[in-house]
Structure formats: structure tokens, C-alpha cells
Structure 1
Amino acid sequence: MEVLDVLNLGEIAQYFSKMAMFPVFDCAYYIVSILYLKYEPGAVEVSRKSPVASWLCAMLYCFGSYILADIMLGVSPIDYFHNNSHILLASAVWYLIFFCPLNLFYKCVAFLPVKLVLVALKEVVRTRKIAAGVHHAYHAYHHGWLIMVITGYVKGKYLISPEGSIFRGHVILVFFSPTKASLYGAILFTLQEAHLLPVSKSTLICLFTLFMATTKVFMTARHSHGSPFALIESWLCHLLFGSPLGIEDDHHHSAPAAASAPLSPTKTKEELSEVTRKRKSKKAE
């Protein structure tokens, strides 16, 4: 306790939990979100042929979780769009990423060291969104633990992830690492709201943000799409459901990769998208 008192961790956590997200952290959130939109196959073509459709997609990437959470809680889904400053900031980011001369802005934010900083800042916003979603649901449904978990989960990660679905005409439900982390975070914040977790909200926000930012930066730096929870989940599934030990997801992902083509393991989705776009432009010429 004396060490904690000397470090003033409680005061640091309190200050961190009340720190304003706009404009720095929100800007990073919008940059990373729209950056991933540009990685989607066909996104650049859509932005040229129909800028309005591209802009709407960008707004869904930035604010889709707010819209879905509002619908679930019976609030008008367009309520969030009265924040003109947020809409203007997200729109400016969208324009710069897609239409900046010589693609300079995109090249700057996609540069790995810069991207790692932006990814870490985005996770700060994600944690706040999860906590805010649980808190909002708690005031509407005091004893609805499941509702609180679902709302916090939705706020942290948009359930229907447009993995190219906007441009290829289908919707895929995904459940990868950030989504799992959002779910586990929603459970923790629900337990804290129900006073079943012996920790203050500010401390939980600080610790969970640190975990999320560190994990996401590490995975981005290594171009990894795995899950930091894989080992724990494997053991829990083995104990509770008799599932075989081992990470099955790795086998599912590695088998098609080995069968298809000898692609470099360091090639990420964004790099492959860049290669695809270059090939299409050469064919058009």
C-alpha cells in the first residue's frame, strides 16, 4: 500500500479516466478506422465513382457502434450526429486519406511507427466506449447484466464488421481479437458497475486501456491476427466442454494459406490490398 501511495496510482487513474478524448484521441480513432476502410478491396474505386457512398461508409466505420447501441437502448440512432465537431473531424480525415494529393496523408499514417501510435490512441477510445456503454445500460436496466455486457460489447466493437461486405455485397460476422477483448472488457465493467469487482472504475479503465493498447500495438507490429486469449480459451474449453487442447484457429488459417500460394507471412491485409490495387491499375492502362 505504501508503494501505491508513493506512486499516487489512484490519482493517476482518476486523472486518466477523466481526460478529454476530443480531439487528439478521437482523431486517432477516426484515422485508424478509415485507414482500415481504405484497405478494403474496392474502397478506392468506390471513393472515385461515388464519393457520397464512400463518405457514408466512413461514417459507419467511425460511428456504427454508437448507432447500434442507441438502437438497442431505444434512443434515436441519429442522436450522435448532432456532434458537428466529430462529424467534421471524421469527414476531414476521410477526405485526407482518400483524396490527399500524392496520397501523402495516407502514406504518413500508414507508416508503421506512426500507425502504432495511432493504434494505441484508438484503444484508449475503445475502452472509454465500452465503459460508457455499460454505464448507459446500467442506468436504463439496473439489474440487466446481460444487457450491460451486450451494450458495452457493441460500443467497443461494431458487431457486423464490413470485411469488404460494403463493396462485395455480403455481410460477415467476425469474432477476432479486438472483438473478444471488447466482450471481456464489457464483462469486467459490468461486474464493476454491479459492485462485484473490488476495483474503482477509474482504475479499471486505466488497467484495461494499458492492456488493450499494449496488446494491439504488439500485434500490429508483428502483423499478427491471433488472439492473446487463445491459450486461456483453449484450456477453459477443454475443462468446460471437453474440447481438444490446441489453437484450432491457427490450423484453420494455416491450411488454406499453405494450399493456396506461398505468400510471405509478413504480408498483411493492407499490403495485399495495395498489391491488388496496383495490378488493377496496370490492367486498366
Structure 2
Amino acid sequence: MPITIGLPASLLTLPCELRNQIYFYIFPNAYELDDDDDAQLQEASHTPSTLTLALRLHPPSKYTDPAPTLNPTNHHLNLLLTTRQIHAEAHLLALSHTPFHLPSTYTTPSHFIHQTRHLSPTQLSAVRYLTLTAKISVLRALNETWNNLPFGHPSLRLERLTLVPRRPDCTTSCYAEVAELSQAHTFAYVLAETLKGLRNVRVVEVRNEGCFGQGVWRVLYRSLVLRLWRWGGVRCGVLFEERGSEEGKGWEDGVGGARFRVFFGAARGVGVGREVGEEIIRLAGGEMPALSTAGAGF
């Protein structure tokens, strides 16, 4: 009796349901990264990756633009460069699970649109996690040119936008302390004006990776909360969560790990964060300051 030899097993010979399960393991959910993994992700982002690399099946030499380099933390995206079938059925899932790190040039909407022109609106709407690293002078574009949309682009629907401010050039001069405090107040103003009308973002996270000293970082956060309280009262449509506050660590867990998150819309119903009025009371030591003198303790 003849023996029938089947085709060798491979990823593409599996049923599509099993392939989808494998893709879910290959592209882990960036929003569920723990603090250690997330910190390593940020430390490895000195050379930001572009959004378009994940979607290119041809060798970079076939493109007129400079060939982008893949972020080491995004090496799993290489799977999309193997076959057209895998790319077609997995690239949207990959985009929605991969945190992309962007350089400061992406801050302005015109440059963001130019650099992502290879992506369709559907592909851009699949992107969920973006980290922007830039000096505060560049981050002013958040409220000056974004028009209440992330990067000014209507197709983006972000789960998390992470902002990593960088130190100004004059931090080594004799005016370093003055410059740092001035930059903190500028950044607090930019954030407050941006958060008042920002749409299509679930969570904004701000990380302090050596940009500000501990005291100035604390001033920045308090200034932001106070500005939003003055604008919207005890409820202004967002919730606040300070790193380490639930564990009783406060600001003592170090400058490199300090961060806070601001939750919008649907994220308000997941049991995290505090209303601006509650956060003002916590920062003021348990007593709500009068509106006319609220800035005295900050």
C-alpha cells in the first residue's frame, strides 16, 4: 500500500485561527508591560524606529528615502518582512501591539504626515502606542499645531502616548537651575493647554528620564494639576495617577523612574487615577486650598 507523505509543516500550513494565536504571542501587548520591561524599552530607544519599516516587504535599497533602522526592541517586526501573506494578515495586529519610538522631528504634523505617507488611514488607526522624545522647546507644538489631535493626524487612535522630555542645552551653565525651573513651568503650561482638548488618546504618560531634578519634577507635576484645577474645577474630564503613589513611595523612588499618567474618556471607568480635585487635596496635604490662594502652596 503506497505511503502518502504530507507537506512539511510550517506556519502558513496551520489553520488561520492557530496562526492568529501565534501572532498574539509574537506581538505582546505593550500596555501590559510591567515597570521593569517598560523601563528597558525606554532605555533601548536612543535610535527611534520609523513607523514605515514594519510595512516594507522590499529591501530598503529600493526606496528613495534613507533606509531606517529597526529598533532592537522591535525585532519581532521582522516577521512581517518574510512573506506577503504573513504581512497581509498580521501587520495590523503588529502595529496595534508595538510601541513605536519617535524622534523630535515627528512632533510637527507636517513632518509626521510626510514620514508616514506610506501608511493608509487604516494602518495608522491601528497604531496604539507612540513614544515621543524631544526637548521642551519642540514639545510646544503639542498645543500650538496639533489642534487637539495626536500629531495633528485624524487617523490616529492611541491607547497610550508617552512623552519623554529632554534637558535644555544650557543645563551645564551657571543658569542651569533657573533654566530647569523655567523649562518645567513651560512644560506644565504646554501639557495643561494640550490636555484641555486632546482627543483620540486614552492615556498620556509623561516620564522623567534624567531631564529634571527631583524637586523641579515635583513642581512640574503640581503646576500641571493646579492649572487644570483652575481651568475645570474639581472635575476637568481627566484622571491623574502618579508613579508609586499607591505603594506609598511618592517621589522617593528616584528621578529616573518618576512618571505620571493622565487618563481620558473610556479609561476613566477602569478604576485608576484621581479626579483633579482629589489630586489637589492629596498634594496640598489633605486640605483643599481656596481658589484665590491655591498657588501659594505650590
Q: Higher helix fraction: Structure 1 or Structure 2?
A: 1
* Structure with more contact order per residue of length (Cα contacts < 8 Å, sep ≥ 6): 1
* Larger-gyration structure (1/2): 2
The reply to whether TM is greater than 0.5 is: no
TM-score bracket, normalised by the shorter chain, equals under 0.3
Q: Higher strand fraction: Structure 1 or Structure 2?
A: 2
